[in-house]
Each structure stands twice: as C-alpha cells, then as structure tokens.
A and B are shown apart, each in its own frame.
Chain A
Amino acid sequence: MNPLEDNIRVLMRGLRELRFDLGPDDWTLAMQALTMIDWENEAAVESALKTVWCRDAHEVPLFSAAFRVWRDLLRRPDAAPRLAQDTYLAQIAQKRRNEQVTPTPQWLMTPSRQEAEADTQELLTFVQGASRLERMASQRLDRLSDEELAQLVAWYAPRRPLTLPSYLPRPSVRGRAWNPGETMRRGRVGSEWLTLYFDASRPEPMPITLLLDMSGSMAGFHRPLLQFAHAMMRHQRPLSVFVFSTRLADVSRPLKLFHADQALAEISDLAPDCGGGTRIADSMSTLWYRHRGHPVGPRSRLVLISDGMEVGGEALADWLDRWRNFLHGNLWWWTPFHMDWTQVASRSLRALAHSTRQAEVSTFAQLNQAWLSLDRART
C-alpha cells in the first residue's frame, strides 16, 4: 500500500473516533480527489480532504484541528508510522475522556429514605381517598422516585402527538379550492370515476423546544423533568431539549436513547455545570445565535422551565421580547414553584411574567396538563 494512503487511513480512523460519519465510499472519494491535486502541497491535501469528508459547519474546525495533530505526528522524526497511529488515537481518546466530566453529586442525589417516608405520610393525609396513581400525580416532582415517575409516564402517556395545521395546503379529498393537477394525476389509474382533490391544510407534528434550567435552585427537579422529556421524546417527533445552568447544552440526542438511566447518565456528562448559577438571558442568547431556525423555527413552541431566578436580569427582558416576536407569542414559562403572578418582585420575574405564558408544574399532573395545553393554546 502507498505510505500516504496508509497515513490517511490513520487520519480517517481518528476522525471516525471524533464521530465523523465516514464510510468506504468516502475513502474512495478521497482517493479520487487526491489523484487530482498536488500531493506535495499540504494545504491542498487538507482542503481536498476537508471538502470530501466534512458535512457540517461544526465538523470544519474539528477536522482542521485533527489534521494538524496528524500532520505534526507524521513529521516527528522518532515516530514510526505505527507509533504515530497509536499516539494519534491515544490523543483523541484522551480528548474524549477530558470532555466527560464526573457527574455532580447534587445532580444524582435522591431524597433520603426517612425524608421520603415522612413526605409520604404527610401527603397521605392530604390526598386521602385518591388512587395510588392520582396520589403520585399530585405529589411534588422532586419527591417522586424514578420508578414512580416511570409508572406515571406510562399511565399518562399521550394518545397522539401534538399537532398544528400545516402552513401550506396539501391535496385532500375535502377542501375549498379544487386542485386540477392532483385530480388528473391520481385519476389516471382506476375506474372511470374521477375523485376530485382539493387543497386543504393537514395536521403536522408540532415542533417543541424545551429549555430546562439545571441550576442549583432547581435541584431535585432536573431528573424528573428530564425523565418526562425522555418519555415525550418517543411521542413527539420534532422535540428538542436544551439544558442550561451557566451555559447551554443540547441534550436532544442522548434523550433519544431507549433506556432512561443511560440517557440521564449521558446528559450529566454533557452538562458539567449542573448545579451552578442561573443564566437565562445568556442561554437564550446562545439559543438565538446557534439554534434559531433549526430546531427552533418560527412555528415552534419554546418552553422555558425555570424558577426564573436570573442573576442580574437586565438583558433578559430584551431576549424574551425578541424570542416572543420570533415565535409569534408561543413562548411559555413553566415553573415548579408556586408563584403569585401579581406579586412578583424581581426584575427577571417581572420580565418573564410580562413576556410569556405561565404555568406551574410542581406536580406531574400539572406538568402533563401544561404539556397538553401546548396543543390547545394555538395562536
């Protein structure tokens, strides 16, 4: 084998470790591309490989960094190709290890048995006569165990995904305006009877984005809320979930894992700042610049789940207004704490109360109700 090919194969393996989706076709394409350029020109090789192997804007800087590491290793006089390959892969493995920070104990903390028993006793007297599921559904979210929440999610699972009418009309057998093209196309086959087709709006899955506060003041609510989001991910196809404390992290991909425990463990790796301060405005700003359009489109529903205790809060009102205008008013604020909306004192709470639609989600029943109300409260 050509030594250059051997070395490029090392680069390709390293890129695969960095989660580049590269297959045999990409290898063939890269070899074809390299035959058309000057192999001696390092910049040309980098540009050519970048063109055929990168598929996303995020991959471009990652590729450049990996290429530099690979090139420097090849230039080391003491490094045999095999050593270079091993070192390269070891560096990548180390990089990945560093990205995964140990979960915060507070994040995984569950109430002690004594506390849980005491709470159960206290609530039993309050909800006397209710069924077990009703009792659990009206219990505070932070007092529910994982098993109880799993039972509630299974019991209250929505029958159908939330929908909204399509923006543009689609062909249908009912409607106002006749669609001659569709009528002719579908009338080609079958009997002499011609079915008329019309233009009508059709229900489409509703895109929803959850923005979950994982700061210290929300401790105890992270896990049940994420478990709820994990369950909804299987019912609501265009659902995106972001978490934030001091910085924003997209956790939609791990939430698609089948097992909730595995999903939550991966999320704890992705959000190492869990339990820190609350920066809602910064997170909304990041969401605006990185994710506006996709996945948060103008027809999306954006739900901020937070206690609203923003540090400072000067910029929050601006960002809330900006998002509310972009989403045509479809901006929600769910809080797990009971709040008198007329008596809010802090600047951030005032801004949230002014710019959003509010709902209290301290219990599972309220959470489920708030979720279903996203469908009913159409604009």
Chain B
Amino acid sequence: MNISMANVSQLVSRLAEVGYLAGPDLAMAAYLALRLQRPLLLEGEPGVGKTAFAQAMSETVGRPLLRLQCYYGIDLKSAVYDWNYARQMLTIRMAEEREEGHGKIQDVFGPEFLIARPLLQALTMKPAPVLLIDEVDRTDEAFEALLLEFLGEYQVSIPESGTVRADEIPLVVLTSNRTRDVHDALRRRCLYAWIGYPSPERERAILARRRPELSEQLLMQMTAFVARLREEPLVKRPGLAESIAWAEALSVLGAKVLTPEVVESTLGLLLKYYDDVEMLRRPVGREMTSLEQWLHESGTGAS
C-alpha cells in the first residue's frame, strides 16, 4: 500500500485523530505492516479493540475497509470467489437455442461469470483497501490453508481462469481471540501484535475521549473498578468495549459518582455471565457483598 508515513509517531497521532489511542507496540506493528507490506495478526482478549483498530487504520490511510467475518465452515465460495451458476446455465441454454456448438460452453468460466468475494475484491480493488479478516480462529484448518497463498504472495489461483495478483498490496489485518490456535504456517506470514487490557490511565484517556461529559472523578472510579474486576477469576472479564458501553450508560443515566446502586443497576453492561454477577452479589462479610468490597478497595469510598 503506497501510503506516506514518516515515522511511528506520525501514525500514532493520525490514529488519535480518528479516535483510536494505540499503544507503542501496536503502533510499531501497524507502522511496520504498512512499510514492509506484511499482513498483521492481532491477538487479544475479546473487546480490547482489535476490530476497531482495523476500522481506525482504514480511516487513517483513507482507504475503504473490506471485512471478512470468519466462522466455522467458511470456504472458498464465501471468502474468495464463486461462479454465477444461474447465469452460466442461462448462457448454456441460450447457446443451445442458438444452436451453437459445445465449444462455447468453455466461455462460461470467464470473468463476467465470476462473483468476487472479499479476498478477491481486496486484490482487484483500486486503490487497495484495508482488508479485515476478523476472528480467524473461528475457521477450520482448511480455510487457513486457503489463506496461505493469499497472505504469502498476495495472489489467488482460480483453476478455471488463472492467477489473480494484486497491483497494489492491500493492508491486511487478521484478528484472533485465541479460541483455537492458528497454525504456525499462517503466523509465519504475518507480523504479530498482542493487545492486552489497557492500563487504567490509558483506559481513562479513551473513555474521556469517547464521553467528555463524564467527570474526571467518575472516570477514575470506573477504571479502578474495572481493573479490580479484571483481577478476579471471572468467566468473561470485561474488555475495553464493555467499559465504553458502561461509560455510555452512566452518561445517559447522568451518574456523577459510582455507588453500589448505580453499579448494580448497570452490571449487565460489564458482566455477561450469570455466574459472574452472582459472584459479585455474594456476601463476604456481615453486611458487605463482593461488589461493595471491591468498590471500596478500588478507591471509590463507597461501603
């Protein structure tokens, strides 16, 4: 992708302009992915901003975003290309009506019968887009093998018509939640970055940018409480996405300070499992629940 980017700092500031505060490791990985023209594999817990990063990069470099959402069973027809069978059959029938020979049937595998799916679109689109291959760990091994040629050579081989190569290399971002281990062959072709949970300071900065109407004190209480929650053995720890949703809810409710009642009423935005909610409601002392104790420990002063 022909994008002028002088250094990492410039990329960080341009990402910040579109509302994404990237950490130093992620910014370096993105910068090298642009300069070395390599795919970038992002791993991390759900809701830490992997998909949002691809969207932000799309806005930063001013290129369209193509998204391929992966799932178990995704195949060539859904991801790369498919043939327009109805049109092929109609063409054959029309050729028969016109009493033309069978030689014409070979023409039904021309480009006009090809339906380009996201991977093929990414190679043929001008200017080259940002391609997001989201949640690649949800696919099966067959699809990973299918991706190897695309990620290694930026090309797709179509047996019926030939090989399609990219004129301009697209920026490819793959994300994974590590529900399944991605094969080493795929990892070798990519640059790698791990996105962990943000530090309370960085999370506060992100929330302040998203919800400037929330007070500094409330943001500090929120981030401290969320950080405390992440230390617990929850089934699903709250990610950054949950924090943002929680901040939006508190903004709508007009909360000024974090109290047990406010947290209790909005807990569903942070925790997604009944076991986790139950853990917070469990009494730990004579008159305190875990929720109240953690709020107290996280420095909100509530008890």
Tell me the residues in window 28-84 of chain A with beta carbons closer than 8 Å to chain B beta carbons: 29, 32-33, 36-38, 43-44, 47-48, 50-52, 54-57, 60
Q: Does A37 lie within 8 Å of B275, measured CB to CB? A: no
Taking CB atoms, residues of chain B closer than 8 Å to A21 are: 184
With a CB–CB cut-off of 8 A, which chain B residues contact A318? 275
Min C-beta distance of A293 to chain B, whole Å: 3
A52 touches B191 (CB 8 A): yes
Whether A47 contacts B160 in the complex (CB less than 8 A), given A56-B187, A294-B180, comes out as no
Given contacts A55-B187, A56-B187, contact A294 B28 (CB under 8 A): no
Among B80-88, B120-128, B220-228, B243-251, which stretch is in contact with chain A?
B80-88
Instruction: Give the number of residues in B that approach A within 8 Å (Cβ atoms).
Output: 37
- Bound Cα distance A44, B8 (Å): 9
Of all chain A residues, which has the CB nearest B237?
Answer: A289
A293 vs B72: C-alpha distance in the bound complex, in angstroms?
A: 13
Is residue A180 within 8 Å, beta carbon to beta carbon, of the partner chain? yes
| Alpha-carbon distance A57/B25, docked complex (angstroms) | 13
Which of B13-21, B29-37, B211-219 contacts its partner?
B29-37
Residue pair B137, A180 in contact (C-beta under 8 Å)? no
In the complex, which residues of chain A have a beta carbon less than 8 angstroms from the beta carbon of B235? 288, 322
Contact between B233 and A285 (Cβ–Cβ < 8 Å)? yes
Q: How far is the CA of A206 from the CA of B109 in the complex (A)?
A: 38
- In the complex, whether A265 has a CB less than 8 A from a CB of chain B is no
Return the chain B residue nearest A170 by Cβ.
B73
Q: How far is the CA of A293 from the CA of B179 in the complex (A)?
A: 4
One of B24, B36, B83, B180 near A47 (C-beta < 8 A): B24
**Is the CB–CB distance between A51 and B73 below 8 Å?**
no
Q: A51-B192, A181-B85 are in contact. Are A297 and B233 (CB under 8 A)?
A: no
Name the interface residues of A1-50: CB closer than 8 Å to any CB of B: 21, 25, 29, 32-33, 36-38, 43-44, 47-48, 50
Residues of B within 8 A of A51 (CB): 25, 28-29, 32, 191-193
Q: Which of B8, B85, B178, B188 contacts A294 (CB 8 A)?
A: B178
Given contacts A21-B184, A51-B29, A297-B180, are A181 and B77 in contact (CB under 8 A)? yes
Chain B 42-74 interface residues, beta-carbon cutoff 8 Å to A: 43, 72-73
Q: Which residues in B have their C-beta under 8 angstroms from that of A54?
A: 192, 194
Complex contacts, B275 vs chain A, CB 8 Å: 318, 322
Report the separation of the CA atoms of residues A184 and B179 in the bound assembly, to the nearest whole angstrom.
Answer: 35
A285 to B88, CA, bound (A): 55
Q: Is B88 touching A33 in the complex (CB atoms < 8 A)?
A: no
Instruction: Please name all residues of chain A whose beta carbon is closer than 8 Å to the beta carbon of B28 when the two chains form the complex.
Output: 37, 44, 47-48, 50-51
Closest B residue to A34 using CB positions: B32
- Residues from chain A with Cβ under 8 Å of B193 in the complex: 51
A294–B140 Cα distance when bound, in Å, is 12
Among the listed B32, B72, B83, B178, which residue makes an inter-chain contact with A57, where contact means beta carbons less than 8 Å apart?
B178
Supposing A168-B73, A180-B85, A318-B275 touch, asked if A50 and B180 sit within 8 A by C-beta, the answer is no
Give complex CA distance A167, B72 in Å. 9
Taking the nearest CB of chain B, how far is it from the CB of A56, in angstroms?
A: 7
B287 on interface, CB distance cutoff 8 Å = no
A159 on interface, CB distance cutoff 8 Å: no
Question: Are the CB atoms of A36 and B85 closer together than 8 Å?
Answer: no
Could you tell me the distance between the alpha carbons of A294 and B178 in the complex, rounded to whole angstroms? Answer: 7
Determine the chain B residues whose CB is within 8 A of the CB of A295 once the complex forms.
181
Contact B82 A188 (CB under 8 A): no
Given contacts A54-B194, A168-B72, A184 and B83 within 8 Å (CB-CB): yes
Q: Which residues of chain B are near A37, meaning CB under 8 Å?
A: 7-8, 28, 31
Specify which chain A residues have a CB less than 8 angstroms from the CB of B25 in the assembled complex: 47, 50-51
CB distance from B76 to the nearest CB of A (A): 10
A132 within 8 A of B: no
What is the minimal beta-carbon distance from B284 to any residue of chain A, in angstroms? 15
| Distance (whole angstroms) from the CB of B35 to the closest CB of chain A | 5
Query: Is A97 part of the binding interface, using a Cβ–Cβ cutoff of 8 Å?
Result: no
> Which residues of B, 170-198, contact A by the 8 Å Cβ criterion?
177-181, 184, 187-188, 191-194
Residues of the B chain whose Cβ atoms lie less than 8 Å from the Cβ of A32: 36
Per the bound structure, the CA–CA distance linking A184 and B187 in Å amounts to 34
* Cβ contacts under 8 Å, A181 to chain B: 77, 82-83, 85
Closest to B190 in A: A55
A185 at the interface (CB under 8 A from B): yes
Most buried by A among B32, B83, B181, B184: B32
Among B24, B38, B83, B85, contact of A43 (Cβ-Cβ < 8 Å): B24
Q: Which 7 A-B pairs have the closest CB atoms?
A: A293-B179, A168-B73, A47-B28, A294-B180, A55-B187, A51-B29, A60-B194
List chain B positions with a Cβ less than 8 A from chain A. Answer: 7-8, 24-25, 28-29, 31-32, 35-36, 38, 43, 72-73, 77, 82-83, 85, 88, 109, 137, 160, 177-181, 184, 187-188, 191-194, 233, 235, 275
| 23 A-B interface contacts by CB (under 8 A) | A37-B7, A37-B28, A48-B32, A50-B25, A51-B192, A54-B192, A56-B192, A57-B43, A57-B178, A167-B73, A180-B85, A181-B77, A181-B85, A184-B85, A188-B109, A188-B160, A293-B178, A293-B180, A294-B180, A294-B181, A297-B179, A297-B180, A322-B235
| A residues in contact (CB < 8 Å) with B | 21, 25, 29, 32-33, 36-38, 43-44, 47-48, 50-52, 54-57, 60, 167-168, 180-181, 184-185, 188, 285, 288-289, 292-295, 297, 318, 322
* A36-B32, A55-B188, A185-B83 given; 20 more Cβ-contact pairs under 8 Å: A29-B38, A32-B36, A36-B35, A37-B8, A37-B31, A44-B28, A47-B24, A47-B25, A51-B193, A52-B191, A168-B72, A181-B82, A181-B83, A188-B109, A285-B233, A289-B233, A293-B137, A293-B180, A295-B181, A322-B235
